[in-house]
Amino acid sequence: MNPGAAMRFTIFQDTAIGARSVNQDRMGYCFSRESLLMLVADGMGGHVRGEVAAQLTLQACASAFQREAQPRIADPAAFLDAALRTAHRDLLRYQAQHKLPEAPRTTVVACVVQDDAAWWAHAGDSRLYWLRDGRILSRTRDHSKVQSMVSLGLIAVHEQDNHPERNKVLNCLGSPYEPTVEITTRAKLQGGDTLVLCSDGFWTGLPESEFAAAFARGPVALTVPALVQRAVAHNGRVADNTTVVALTWESSESVEDVPTLSSLDLAEGAVTTTISFDEVADLPEAALSDEDIERQIAEIQQAIQRSGESTPGGNA
């Protein structure tokens, strides 16, 4: 695609609460005429207010996208790094404002698509898969204890699924330490390629080869909700929140099939987004009680559920 050309793509997002009492995952996407941002954040249930961490992270990244995608991101890799580090600082600020013993924490995976290419970044064990013709071309490597043990040769790959420490994440936003933001730069897309961003509730519930093949057989609008439900069913009584945002790219030369979405109709400077901005970040912090916060979180969840129902296509 030549710079200045509109984008053509199909995108779908879905989430399920699984066996948990609260859905702490958040998902969303934004796009301008020439650039698109996708996000999945998995609030960490072993720490305070993981759902708030995930929501604030999406808001920080979406705000940065709206400022900088005019209509395209000048440097996608630098944008991703800066946006996730801004989100990390927002979580530390939230901790200070609410006098919490620790900051809310979340894993995250984010992806920018423009110029027929993708750039992605992650912290933790939320993943991105790059699929083509039913095969996995690439995926992110988890920042987790079991992945480190596999990399060091201490356990075999097949042992990680049932390892007692498989849920231990070594890197996230909101920790007392500056997070590691791992970035993959400029993956050249072909028409029909699919990018899948997901929380660990999804990838722990399905063999990779199985869902890669499933995305090759049908549109993301049908494939995503079916696979989310299969992952939840497979994980059963231990099913985590399960969240996916998936995009199938249409090359600029492929004009026969009408895509679900196109940026062609967007006005210059306009940005479309599924991410809500006003439930957490814009509230007067000093006036909030714990009950107020919990009520706002419930409203966020309801808004995201409505988004999942109306948009083609929200515990580490």
pLDDT 10s digits, 179-203: 999 999 999 999 999 999 999 999 9
Q: Is residue 2 situated within a structural domain?
A: no
Q: Is residue 149 situated within a structural domain?
A: no
Q: Is residue 156 situated within a structural domain?
A: no
Q: Which among 64, 53, 55 has a CA at the least distance from the CA of 175?
A: 53
How far apart are the C-alpha atoms of 99 and 51, rounded to whole Å? 17
Q: Which among 108, 91, 87, 109 has a CA at the least distance from the CA of 100?
A: 91
CATH number of 46's domain: 3.60.40.10
Q: Is residue 85 situated within a structural domain?
A: yes
Say if residues 26 and 245 touch (Cβ distance below 8 Å).
Answer: no
Residue that has been written with the tokens 């020439």 in this structure? 34
214 confidence band (pLDDT: 50, 70, 90): very high
280 confidence band (pLDDT: 50, 70, 90): low
CA angle at 178 for the pair 175 and 182, rounded to the nearest 5° = 105
Q: Is residue 136 situated within a structural domain?
A: yes
Q: Which helix (H) or strand (E) element contains residue 66?
A: helix 50-68
272: number of CA atoms within 13 Å, CB side? 16
303 confidence band (pLDDT: 50, 70, 90): very low
Q: Which helix (H) or strand (E) element contains residue 206?
A: none
Say if residues 249 and 9 touch (Cβ distance below 8 Å).
Answer: yes
Residue that has been written with the tokens 């559920």 in this structure? 305
Number of domains in the chain: 1
Quote the domain boundaries for residue 75: 8-142+168-310
Instruction: Give the whole-number percent of the chain exceeding pLDDT 90.
Output: 66
4: left (phi over 0), alpha (psi -120 to 50) or beta: left
